[in-house]
Structure 1
Amino acid sequence: MANRAEFTSATRRIIAERAGYQCSVLNCGRLTVGPGTDPRQTVHTGVAAHIYSAAKDGPRGTGGLSDAERREPENGIWCCAAHGRSIDADDGRVFPAVQLRAWKRLHEARKAAEVNGGAIHHVGLVESIAVHSAPAAGLEGRTFELGMRNIFTGPNASGKSILTRLIASVAHPDHVADMSRDRDVDMGVRWFDPMTHDVATAGRGGIVTHVLDGRPVPYVARPYKTILLNGQHRTKIGNLTSLAQMFDLNIAAMSSVLALAADQGGVIKDVQREGMRMRWTVDVDGRIESFDNYEAINGSLQTLILLELAGLHARHHARAEPTFLLLDEFLDFHNAGVQVEALQRLQAAAEHAQVAIVSHSPVLLAEAPCDWAVTELAPQPQNHRDNPLAYDIATKPPDA
């Protein structure tokens, strides 16, 4: 039809084959190809559905994509016939684009693992977080659907930093314990590994309780992995112990990550150590330079080093269990070139790990690819009794 960004038959085949001819909707997986009644026939029941609409006024809109971009395989998700109809019902509001993109990426990751003989039961994602009460009014009463790539933005005191810590709190309940000393915390997280899990977490006066899949538990054993970085972590690259603590690794594992990073062809070219002290050899605008003292490395380069390590760690860990890399205003104080370079490196490095960036940088918002879901938080009411700034990370511009 005219004025519609329809898939070609070749594109539909690519979408179907990348999905293994199974429905990509979470917890469905229905096979959509099989034998027909005649021995020489096959039956196909699947649908290549548009994530962003084929028509400009269709379900979920165009997402700012051109007609040509909406015809690409990246904008299609393979579904069974039933889900192919339902995802466009109610103008697409039941199945938002961020959710469909996450499901497509997750399903294709599982199919890739199957093809390569990997363990598909380790592939998963954090689907949503519901915040019922927290020390940030802009979060309360909201459910946040999480994609594979996320940006949380909003003014100061809107609760961006708190949201990252709530996401991390399933594995690190001390975040909720700290917050609940000033304000009751009630939240719920749903994740998939590949079974769906729901955990309700409550914090009262520093005491944290969990209800996992309807059953009270003292803590959540082996939930998803979170890696949380903020601006203060740039001071950690001079010491191996500090690096290991930041990434929640032992010394031996952190040393292996550093050795592997030097072989990736990125910023890090070599890492030597004297005791726990680090000596870095890095790529500085095409020049290979060595630094005995991390303080001689400028702030922008320190950030790229940490991002390279975080991406490598997250990519590796995502092959074992769902992994979420959280960057709290980690890039905002750098110049536009560094921000764009860091975003591009992170997009490739994190692979099947989820990523969320807290940012109020217009550069990041403008340069983020369309598969990054942007969530905007409202400012804190002036008369609200809680002060989320108590939980914000103090940041300052790095050295040029």
Structure 2
Amino acid sequence: MDSEQSGRRANFTDKTKGTLALRAAYRCSNPGCGVLTIGPGSGSADFELTGTAAHIYAAAPNGPRGTGGLTDTQRSAPPNGIWLCARCARLVDTNAGGAYPASLLRGWKDLHETRIRMEHGGISRPFGWIHSIDILKDIWLAEPTTVRFSRCNLFLGGTGIGKTHFISLLSGLSSPSIIMDRRDRSDSTVHAAINWYDPQPRRAEFRAEGEQLLFSADGTAVPFLSQPYRIVTLPSVWAYAPRDVRELGRLLGLDHWAVRNLITELPEIVRGAVKQIRIVEDQIQAEYTLGDKVISDRGHDRSLDRSVVLEVLVALAETYARTQPTLLLVDELYGGGNADFEQNVTELLSSSIRGFQTVATSVFSPLVAPEWTVTRFVYASDEARGRKHWARLVQDDVEG
């Protein structure tokens, strides 16, 4: 009955339990815990296992967090499991799991497995993770909603439906002018909360209404928030970044000498398509591969090729991610019909060596890797379509 729920328990097989334990390196996936769940037993050849493969959506229809509309087969598969210590497994199921929704547990799992993947690859660094945003009020949304984030996130929708405004909310904590610039619009109230780990659970909330702007950090009112996580983006259309290193530095908010150092080390930091890059009389010149072609971006116009621009942003995000949670925001990432470019973009951002999260928007629907969470903006009704607001968000399941 793969297309239905049978009413029986969707238990994990021993193989699935072993897969979840190994992917978690036998550590509890709760970012506030992380305890080792395996160790020596009482005998010289014994071991003791104190962890468990817990269900995200319930094994049984009346269990904690419900079934999420998943079939029996889906509920017993690895994407619906998370490895926890015995204590945390009991904790998340208390009171029908009301305090630990599925989106939160999947955020824990994404964070933990990404961290283990990096450690296994020899990359050790402080680690943070933005796991969700609660949008409590905004004119373009038909109803309050929560959006969860994995490492790579793509938001799809037509022009004017609210994608650009949505990603601006993620910048609102550290750059509130992005939100306050809307105050002259009718019904411009924005109320949102962002949840992240650094690595402890954190929550910051902001409400903008008219000339009033209110912030809170972990439940305490504050006048502003001091860089809770780092945002990497360009304030203008990202595909038209200036070639001049001083102008680029101003756009990125960096001293031009810092940009020079970043450019010099870019191929080593990113390990992407750009193989050579240098600065000649303040102008950035690069050579990169696209498909089976080697392309020289040598200064024929004032703007850098977008392949080079993206790698500059990736290098900057990687640098910030060494010390704090970092989000790379890219509006209209895909488009233009260049299949080689789109494939290169997907491979670049999907790479397991990335220490930052990506949030991108697109009108087009490219073939993305399994690591990506895809969220679609759709109109809530035909009437909403006519007003070009009142959207709702439909988030795909992540295959973990």
Could you say whether these structures have the same fold, taking a TM-score greater than 0.5 normalized by the shorter chain as the test? yes
Q: What's the CA shift string for 1:259-295, capped at 9, x where partnerless?
A: 1223455332323324432223333554545444253
Q: Name which of 161, 166, 169 aligns with 2:164.
A: 161
Q: Alpha-carbon deviation of 1:92?
A: 11
- The residue that corresponds to 2:178 in the other structure is 175
- One-letter identity of the residue aligned with 2:179: V
Q: Alpha-carbon deviation of 1:317?
A: 1.9
Q: Name which of 241, 251, 255 aligns with 1:250.
A: 255
- The residue that corresponds to 1:201 in the other structure is 206
Distance 1:380 1:207, change over 3 A: farther
- The residue that corresponds to 1:239 in the other structure is 244
- The residue that corresponds to 1:268 in the other structure is 274
What is the distance in 2 between the residues matched to 1:105 and 1:94? 15
1:89-128 to structure 2, matched below 5 A, reads 95-96=101-102, 99-111=104-116, 118-119=124-125, 122-128=126-132
- The residue that corresponds to 1:392 in the other structure is none
Q: Which runs of 5 or more residues in structure 2 are unaligned?
A: 3-9, 61-65, 391-400
- The residue that corresponds to 1:282 in the other structure is 288
- One-letter identity of the residue aligned with 2:333: F
Distance 1:112 1:336, change over 3 A: closer
Q: Name which of 137, 150, 175 aligns with 1:133.
A: 137
Contact 1:315–1:349 (Cα < 8 Å) also in 2: no
Distance 1:290 1:370, change over 3 A: closer
Q: Does 1:352 align with 2:355?
A: yes
- The residue that corresponds to 1:303 in the other structure is 306
Distance 1:305 1:49, change over 3 A: farther
Contact 2:239–2:309 (Cα < 8 Å) also in 1: yes
Q: Alpha-carbon deviation of 1:87?
A: 6.8
What is the distance in 2 between the residues matched to 1:28 and 1:82? 10
TM-score by length of 2: 0.76
SS of 1:24's equivalent in the other structure is: coil
What is the distance in 1 between the residues matched to 2:323 and 2:251? 19
- The residue that corresponds to 2:370 in the other structure is 370
Q: Name which of 222, 228, 244 aligns with 1:217.
A: 222
Contact 1:49–1:77 (Cα < 8 Å) also in 2: yes
Bigger proportion of residues as helix: 1
SS of 2:301's equivalent in the other structure is: helix
- The residue that corresponds to 2:320 in the other structure is 317
SS of 1:77's equivalent in the other structure is: strand
Q: Alpha-carbon deviation of 1:166?
A: 0.2
- The residue that corresponds to 2:345 in the other structure is 342
- One-letter identity of the residue aligned with 2:233: L
- One-letter identity of the residue aligned with 2:243: G
Q: Alpha-carbon deviation of 1:306?
A: 1.8
- The residue that corresponds to 1:45 in the other structure is 50
Distance 1:296 1:200, change over 3 A: closer
Q: Alpha-carbon deviation of 1:83?
A: 4.9
Distance 1:44 1:282, change over 3 A: closer
- More displaced 10-residue stretch of structure 1: 43-52 or 210-219: 43-52
Q: What percent identity do the matched residue pairs reach?
A: 25
Q: What's the CA shift string for 1:94-130, capped at 9, x where partnerless?
A: 643x6545423422454577786945xx311112111
**Over aligned residue pairs, what C-alpha RMSD do you find?**
4.2
Contact 1:25–1:83 (Cα < 8 Å) also in 2: yes
Q: Name which of 176, 194, 200 aligns with 1:189.
A: 194
- The residue that corresponds to 1:28 in the other structure is 33
TM-score by length of 1: 0.76
Q: Alpha-carbon deviation of 1:252?
A: 2.3
What is the distance in 1 between the residues matched to 2:283 and 2:195? 40
Distance 1:86 1:209, change over 3 A: closer
Distance 1:141 1:342, change over 3 A: same
Contact 2:291–2:340 (Cα < 8 Å) also in 1: no
What is the distance in 2 between the residues matched to 1:118 and 1:45? 26
SS of 1:25's equivalent in the other structure is: coil
Q: Alpha-carbon deviation of 1:322?
A: 0.6
What is the distance in 1 between the residues matched to 2:374 and 2:177? 27
What is the distance in 2 between the residues matched to 1:220 and 1:161? 22
Q: What's the CA shift string for 1:165-213, capped at 9, x where partnerless?
A: 0011112212111123321222111111012222111223355331112
Distance 1:180 1:224, change over 3 A: same
Contact 1:268–1:280 (Cα < 8 Å) also in 2: yes
Contact 1:331–1:359 (Cα < 8 Å) also in 2: yes
- The residue that corresponds to 2:63 in the other structure is none
What is the distance in 1 between the residues matched to 2:114 and 2:18? 18
Q: Which runs of 5 or more residues in structure 1 are unaligned?
A: 390-400
Distance 1:320 1:45, change over 3 A: same
- The residue that corresponds to 2:299 in the other structure is 293
Q: Alpha-carbon deviation of 1:321?
A: 0.6
Distance 1:107 1:307, change over 3 A: same
Q: Alpha-carbon deviation of 1:342?
A: 1.4
SS of 2:182's equivalent in the other structure is: helix
- One-letter identity of the residue aligned with 1:344: E
